[in-house]
A and B are shown apart, each in its own frame.
Chain A
Amino acid sequence: MGPHLTIEPNDRSVGGAASAVGKGVEMTSVLLGEGAQSSEGPADPLADFEGAIAADERIEPRDWMPDDYRKTLVRQMAQHAHSEIIGMQPEANWITRAPSLRRKAILMAKVQDEAGHGLYLYSAAETLGTSREELLDKLHSGRQKYSSIFNYPTLTWADVGAIGWLVDGAAITNQVPLCRCSYGPYARAMIRVCKEESFHQRQGFELLLALSRGTEAQHAMAQDAVDRWWWPSLMMFGPPDDESAHSARSMAWKIKRHSNDELRQRFVDICVPQAEALGLTLPDPDLRWNEERGHWDFGPIDWEEFRQVLQGNGPCNEERIGRRRQAHEDGAWVRDAAAAYAAKRGTGRPAAQAVAQEQPRAQAQTQDQHDGETAVSPR
């Protein structure tokens, strides 16, 4: 992270926009992994499972696993996927107003990447026997959650930068350890997601840097955005360890590798020098270096606000889920048409899959060889 970053939206070497259309299909082989062979009913499947976890081996889709392990993973992966697609909204809010063509291209590519992550994660969840339709239905009916951070509004252009720097930064801190998660398809999905997220984080930093070094009004805009996004970003790591409902078990299963508080501290330690490089301040008077701990101390987090937003009382909860539902309902006739057309052609595929069949270009070559696998929608 330096002050002289130059990032071009068309640097697609990190697997950004150019490859995005192909994601739906090419992901399959990655997610299913090498040698994910089913083993014929071992004598003691639980012992085998626990042995694999203890030995840091990956659990693959066809391996036996405890029901609770499966449920925990589906819950976490679904919430992650939902966060990606709900997270498109606050940033898409600025696509039509981006102040330069270069920024417009960067932002569009970023929002597109998020759609790609959503697709990727829904597919990873499907390896556990749950369909995208089912998960979307749970999102729309409020039975599954998405990250609360997206219930905050993007009020100025600088918020786009703050989301990239802080929200994506926090997400990466959370997600990098997931690349070593015990469930293979999730771990492999996260490797790709993290690469793109770190790209987004650098772009956010660079956007804020341009504002911070710009006119007085631009600098004030950047400071205001950081003031508003800092505390919600710290809340992204979840409640303190002694109040976290699922943490202990997830850590035992090696779905999770570090505690909420550990990750939060790591994030603060990363951000403090970056804020300094940006020439912006973090809105916490208690922030100071603790020589003894070798970490930055920070002030108390307003957990009441966190609970309020979680319970649906954030500034944008209704708007976000309402817009998502609206998009889904508005698109129903399109999905119906795709399904009806596919049925007439005798392919009989569900709508989403019929759609995916028609992604030309990047997918054209890979389509045939993956056609038999459950990339986009289960048969």
Chain B
Amino acid sequence: MTRSQDTPAGGGAATRAEAALDSPLLPLADDALVLSHRLGEWAGHAPVLEEELALANIALDLLGQARVLYSQLGDEDELAFLREERSFRNCQLVEQPNGDFACTMVRQLFFSACQELLFGQLAELGDPLASKAVKEAEYHRDHAEHWTIRLGDGTEESHARTQRAVDGLWRYTGELFEPLPGPAPVGAVDWAALRAGWTERVTRVLTSATLTVPDSPQSGAWAAGAGRQGLHTEPFGRMLAEMQHLHRSHPGASW
């Protein structure tokens, strides 16, 4: 999460914005922002008070990550509020609607297990910010892991719901391992190792949750790397409309 080398330090706004769109940091920032937003939708709806705190905590960590990353690419609010749907580089997994609590936890497990490994690699490559973020990702993964196990191995209903969540979200997981081309450290990530580590971890969690690991493909006809190219699912447009509406209604205003 070091500044990408090809960002012109004193370049004009347009060049800088273009450079931002090409930076491998942008997909990571968008992932964090979009998932944070989705988790924020839970506020006031969580199944127990403790989860109000935990979900908000995770959302705040992710929002903090997004802000650090955006600030390396340009103005954080311009990047978050003034880009159109097709310019967002987040993976499709994080934009998936919350669904029920099982869906939210499985989505978190899939994402955070990947983020933990990715930030782990980046930290080893000497990125100072990643070494802080990896601890956050570890906590998020741990939290989601415990819930996946508890729900999978809880009641008949919770088992069925959790298996449904796993099956439904599985096809969005392949995209997590699509290499992000660009300068080091992101450009130096070993994606094959990341995939192997993720598969090992997720398989272990699902198995101990008495859940079945799907044998279906991890990407659909459109899903492989599509989010990274700005191709998103329909609910994402509505999410952005809600998120950006107020900011865009007052052009140039500061808040």
Contacts and interface: CB of A to CB of B under 8 A. Distances in A.
Nearest to A376: B50
A85 B49 contact: yes
Nearest to B57: A21
B48 A331 contact: yes
Nearest to B100: A330
B110 to A, nearest CB: 19
A122 B50 CA distance: 12
B247 A112 contact: no
B46 A96 contact: no
Contact of A101 (B45, B66, B161, B254): B66
Interface in B113-165: 139, 142-143, 146-147, 149-151, 153-155, 157-158, 161
A37 interface: no
Given A99-B246, A103-B255, 17 more contacts: A17-B60, A24-B50, A96-B41, A111-B56, A215-B252, A215-B253, A323-B45, A334-B48, A336-B154, A337-B151, A337-B158, A341-B151, A352-B49, A355-B50, A359-B50, A359-B53, A360-B143
Given A215-B253, A335-B47, A344 B153 contact: yes
A334 B56 contact: no
Interface stretch (A62-70, A113-121, A244-252): A113-121
B108 to A, nearest CB: 13
B159 to A, nearest CB: 8
Interface in A172-222: 207, 210-211, 214-215, 217-218
A280 interface: no
Task: Kindly list the 10 A-B residue pairs having the minimum CB-CB distance in the complex, ordered from nearest.
Answer: A331-B47, A337-B154, A337-B158, A112-B56, A115-B52, A92-B43, A334-B47, A92-B44, A341-B150, A100-B255
A17 B57 contact: yes
B50 A119 contact: yes
Contacts of A327: 44-47
A143 interface: no
A190 B254 CA distance: 35
A226 interface: no
B20 interface: no
A352 B48 CA distance: 7
Contact of B49 (A118, A214, A361): A118
A359 B51 CA distance: 9
Contacts of B149: 341
B232 interface: no
Nearest to B149: A341
B128 to A, nearest CB: 17
Contacts of A331: 46-48, 101
Contact of A115 (B56, B245, B254): B56
B91 interface: no
B89 interface: no
Nearest to B101: A334
Contacts of A89: 44
B63 A105 contact: yes
Contact of B242 (A97, A103, A108, A330): A97
Most chain A beta-carbon contacts within 10 A, residue among B44, B52, B67, B77: B44
A8 B112 CA distance: 26
Contacts of A326: 45
Given A337-B154, A337-B155, A214 B253 contact: yes
B188 interface: no
A340 B154 contact: yes
A80 interface: no
A87 B66 CA distance: 28
A338 interface: yes
Interface string A321-347: 001001100111111111011001000
A17 B161 CA distance: 30
A146 interface: no
Given A101-B66, A119-B49, A358 B60 contact: no
A351 interface: yes
Interface string B225-255: 0000000000000000011011100101111
Given A20-B53, A21-B53, A333-B157, A338 B150 contact: yes
B250 A355 contact: no
5 contacts: A20-B57, A85-B52, A97-B242, A112-B57, A359-B50
Contacts of A23: 53
B40 interface: yes
Contact of A336 (B100, B158, B253): B158
Contact of B56 (A102, A108, A330): A108
A167 interface: no
B31 to A, nearest CB: 15
Nearest to B51: A355
Contacts of A109: 56, 60
Nearest to A88: B44
B224 interface: no
Contacts of A21: 53-54, 57
Contact of B155 (A100, A210, A340): A340
A332 B161 CA distance: 13
Contacts of A351: 48
B47 A341 contact: no
Interface string B147-187: 10111011101100100000000000000000000000000
B80 interface: yes
A7 to B, nearest CB: 13
A338 B254 CA distance: 45
Nearest to A337: B154
Which of B60, B70, B81 has the most A CB atoms < 10 Å from its CB?
B60
